[in-house]
Amino acid sequence: MCILVWFRLDLRLRDNPALAAAFRASKAASSTVIPIFCWSPDEEVPWSPGAASRWWFHYSLEGLSQSLSQKGSRLIIRQGKTLSVLQALIRETKATGVYWNRRYEPVVIKRDKHIKEVLRKEGIDVQSFNSHLLFEPWMIQTQAKKPFQVFTPFWKTCLSSQEPESPLSAPSTFPPVSSTIASQSIDSLHLLPTIPWDTQLKEMWAPGEVGALKQADLFLEEALEPYATDRDFPSVKGTSRLSPHLHFGEISPRFLWETLQKLLATRSRKRSIQGVERYLTELGWREFAYHLLYHFPHTTEEPLRPHFKQFPWVQNKKQLKAWQKGLTGYPLVDAGMRELWAVGWMHNRVRMITASFLVKDLLISWQEGAKWFWDTLVDADLASNTLGWQWVSGCGADAAPYFRIFNPSLQAERFDANANYSRCWIPELSTPAYPSPIVNHGEVRIRALTALQTISKKGDIQ
């Protein structure tokens, strides 16, 4: 007898509610715990993991597998239709339960509900838990018992709600997993690229729980105090760089919350407090993104504000390609897009600037940008990606008005005044090899505002 713990986007041992619950149940029933992972990307179409996410998955799974091995267990890896894989493992192991931590992507919710229904009808104890968020999306409501669409009141409600539970310790030891239970190798999943474009990703990132905790320590020691100001300057290491670790569940938001709350209680200097509070707010935006994804699942494909469906987007493959390759002639835009291609990540302010350039200077739809980011970001998160693109485009909840158009040249003067960031990613900057701007910002700004006037707000959200 055993309980299967199905790992997904929770690739850690510390503060893993499903894992902890499985250990409690196994002790009560004198059974064992078997960690499993099922690779079934086709079940997540149209948002199955992109190339950069697959790369991260490979190394994160390696880290999880090593951690389990050090504690006397091993990770059972299978590939195929999830329900069939789970049913096969239940037969092989005589499992009485399957535990997992919840996910919130629309197609995954639908799949998981179906799996839960089928397995429960077959007499299996199926339980799911929250490991990914501070607050479940259905916990936070307006006074009218509706979902929020504005961040500030949403986050105020979160902060006035019951404190998130304290993070759980990792099990000290695991029961051994029988060698008769077959497992695929991580290499057999073919997650790594066949053409080695990932050299700089390897240099920059350390996927896995160990890497996540090291990055958290580095951020807390070096970048947290000046975070409120330094986070806007891409040439400075002023951000946490924890987003991919949070997305893959290698570190929990509850761990960060508790750590930051302790710092807030002990710090007295204004700058220190501002850094902590600002980062807590960023965790709040992550919560808000999942709140919106859960309550408005159609927003992965369509604008939340219905009248934006009428927007006269332009299809221009040449300009889209120039944007993707970082060849627009606007240094801060190009530097961001080249950083993205090289290391699978981009500074948050630069993400806003590059996104604004695509949807407002080039008038290319936000969906095109969302797809590109999804494939190239190591922190490609459906909730955050959707929120970010709809925010910049002015078509989502609490979004920047469409008429707020970033001027890439002025943004560069303000946040990359010495061009240190731009020169880092554009070696040919200030030489004849660097292209001239593909559009005139002043002219296309007028074009964008004119396009905005063509759509009606009738029937829009309130």
CA–CA dist 132, 453 (Å, integer): 40
Task: State how far Cα 360 lies from the chain centre.
Answer: 24
In a domain, 91, yes or no: yes
* Residues sharing a CB contact under 8 Å with residue 66, sequence separation 6 or more, in sequence order: none
In a domain, 235, yes or no: yes
pLDDT for the residue 82: 98
Whether residues 116 and 57 fall in one domain: yes
Q: Which residue range forms the structural domain that includes residue 211?
A: 133-163+200-295
- Of the candidates 44, 197, 302, 348, the residue annotated as catalytic is 348
Domain final residue pick, 233, 260, 295: 295
pLDDT for the residue 270: 64
CA–CA dist 66, 25 (Å, integer): 24
In a domain, 191, yes or no: no
CA–CA dist 171, 23 (Å, integer): 8
- CB-side exposure of 406: number of CA atoms within 13 Å? 27
| Chain position carrying tokens 């880092």 | 424
Which CATH number fits the domain that encloses residue 256?
A: 1.25.40.80
- Is 425 one of the catalytic residues? no
If phi > 0 it is left, if psi is from -120 to 50 it is alpha, else beta; for residue 436 that is beta
| 33: nearest Cα among 64, 73, 90, 79 | 73
CA–CA dist 32, 359 (Å, integer): 53
CA–CA dist 200, 222 (Å, integer): 23
- Is 366 one of the catalytic residues? yes
Which CATH number fits the domain that encloses residue 396?
A: 1.10.579.10
In a domain, 175, yes or no: no
Whether residues 139 and 227 fall in one domain: yes
Q: Are 252 and 131 in contact (CB under 8 A)?
A: yes
- Is 285 one of the catalytic residues? yes
Amino acid (one-letter) located at 202? K
Amino acid (one-letter) located at 273? I
pLDDT for the residue 29: 74
| Total number of domains constituting the chain | 3
Domain final residue pick, 85, 114, 130: 130
- Of the candidates 44, 197, 285, 407, the residue annotated as catalytic is 285
- Of the candidates 43, 62, 313, 316, the residue annotated as catalytic is 313
pLDDT for the residue 461: 41
Whether residues 260 and 375 fall in one domain: no
- Is 138 one of the catalytic residues? no
CA–CA dist 309, 144 (Å, integer): 28
In a domain, 300, yes or no: no
- Is 313 one of the catalytic residues? yes
CA–CA dist 431, 418 (Å, integer): 16
- Of the candidates 43, 282, 302, 316, the residue annotated as catalytic is 282
Whether residues 362 and 289 fall in one domain: no
How far separated are the first and last CA of the chain, in Å rounded? 54
CA–CA dist 271, 250 (Å, integer): 29
Which CATH number fits the domain that encloses residue 99?
A: 3.40.50.620
CA–CA dist 36, 250 (Å, integer): 16
In a domain, 324, yes or no: yes
Whether residues 68 and 140 fall in one domain: no
Could you say which DSSP state residue 359 is in? I
Whether residues 291 and 433 fall in one domain: no
Whether residues 383 and 443 fall in one domain: yes
Domain final residue pick, 275, 295, 315: 295
What string of pLDDT tens digits covers the 462 residues of the chain? 899 999 999 999 999 999 999 999 988 777 899 999 999 999 999 999 999 999 999 999 999 999 999 999 999 999 999 999 999 999 999 999 999 999 999 999 999 999 999 999 999 999 999 999 999 999 999 999 999 999 999 999 999 999 999 999 999 999 999 999 999 999 999 999 999 899 999 999 999 999 999 999 999 999 999 999 999 999 999 999 999 999 999 999 999 999 999 988 886 666 678 999 999 999 999 999 999 999 999 999 999 999 999 999 999 999 999 999 999 999 999 999 999 999 999 999 999 999 999 999 999 999 999 999 999 999 999 999 999 999 999 999 987 788 889 999 999 999 999 999 999 999 999 999 999 999 999 999 999 999 999 986 544 443
H or E element in which residue 97 lies: strand 95-101
Please confirm whether the linkage preceding 17 is cis (ω < 30° from 0).
no
CA–CA dist 39, 46 (Å, integer): 16
In a domain, 331, yes or no: yes
Whether residues 276 and 137 fall in one domain: yes
- CB-side exposure of 109: number of CA atoms within 13 Å? 9
Burial class (CB in 10 A: 0-12, 13-18, 19+), 166: exposed
SS (H, E, C) 411-437: HHHHHCCCCHHHHHHCCCCCCCCCCCC
In this prediction the pTM is 0.96
Task: State how far Cα 72 lies from the chain centre.
Answer: 31
- Of the candidates 56, 345, 366, 372, the residue annotated as catalytic is 366
Whether residues 222 and 291 fall in one domain: yes
| 358: nearest Cα among 383, 333, 331, 332 | 333
Whether residues 271 and 385 fall in one domain: no
pLDDT for the residue 101: 98
| Chain position carrying tokens 């936000």 | 366
Q: Are 101 and 132 in contact (CB under 8 A)?
A: yes
| 56: nearest Cα among 381, 340, 379 | 379
Q: Are 19 and 25 in contact (CB under 8 A)?
A: no
Whether residues 285 and 150 fall in one domain: yes
CA–CA dist 104, 119 (Å, integer): 20
- Is 348 one of the catalytic residues? yes
In a domain, 61, yes or no: yes
Whether residues 371 and 241 fall in one domain: no
